[in-house]
Structures are given as C-alpha cells and as structure tokens.
C-alpha cells in the first residue's frame, strides 16, 4: 500500500496540529511537511514530493491558491478548508472541485476516494 504524502498549509498552528493528528493516524497517509504562509508552499510541495496538500486559510486566499495550484501542479490533490464557514472542497487531478463533509471521517474519506 502506497502512503499518500501530504503537506499541511495552515496559518493557525492549532488547526495544523489537529490535521496532523488526523492524517498521521491513518496507515496510508503521512504529513511530510507544514507551512504557515502560502509563499512557502510551492517550495515545500516540490522539495518534499507531496502528492496532496491540505489548505486552511481564509476563503479568498484558499480559493485563489487552489486555482493557482491546479494550474501549476496538475497532478496534485488539494483539500481546501474554510474553517470560518465550516466548508471543505476536494480537487482531484482532472476533475471539478466537489464539496466534502467537514468532519474527520469526511476529510479522510475525501483524501482516499
């Protein structure tokens, strides 16, 4: 079984810790890095060989970043969280973004689907 390599991009350290615990508790997933600013994300994705990123920033920043990442890294899976509005979307390569249940089980299911 291949391990999904995930970078966390969260401004809030408390949310990053929760997400790290969630991901690291899965046998087929691993957090390979974390960034607190979006400007550091491209370097982290490339240097760490990430297959997925979990973004958690205010909605406008997350939406704009998802668009940029989909163009720059077409094979990257993106899970965008908007903690302020309890919304989440998953963007898989070559497919439209779709909503995700904002729960631990929903987020894990989305990353595995």
Domains, the chain: 4-112 (3.40.50.2300)
> In 1-113, which residue ranges form alpha helices assigned H by DSSP?
13-24, 41-48, 59-72, 104-112
pLDDT of res. 59:
72
pLDDT of res. 7:
98
What tokens were used for 54?
Answer: 């979990």
**In 3-state terms, what secondary structure has residue 35?**
strand
Bridging pattern class, strands 29-35 and 87-91: unpaired
pLDDT of res. 85:
76
Picking from 15, 72, 12, the residue whose alpha carbon sits closest to that of residue 36 is: 12
pLDDT of res. 82:
84
Sequence-separated (6 or more) residues with CB below 8 Å from residue 99: 87, 88, 89
Q: With cut-offs at 50, 70 and 90, classify the pLDDT of residue 93.
A: very high
91 φ, ψ (degrees, to nearest 5): -120, 115
pLDDT of res. 78:
95
pLDDT of res. 30:
97
**In 3-state terms, what secondary structure has residue 9?**
strand
pLDDT tens profile 12-69: 999 999 999 999 999 999 999 999 999 999 999 999 999 999 999 877 788 888 899 9
């Amino acid at each position: 079984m291949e391990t999904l390599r995930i970078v966390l991009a969260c401004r809030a350290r408390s949310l990053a810790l929760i997400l790290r615990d969630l991901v690291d508790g899965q046998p087929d997933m691993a957090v390979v890095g974390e960034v607190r600013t979006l400007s550091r994300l491209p370097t982290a994705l490339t240097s760490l060989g990430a297959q997925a990123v979990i973004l958690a920033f205010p909605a406008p920043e997350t939406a704009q970043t998802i668009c940029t990442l989909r163009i720059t890294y077409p094979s990257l899976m993106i899970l965008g969280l908007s903690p302020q509005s309890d919304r989440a979307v998953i963007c898989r390569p070559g497919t439209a973004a779709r909503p995700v249940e904002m729960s631990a089980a929903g987020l894990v299911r989305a990353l595995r689907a």
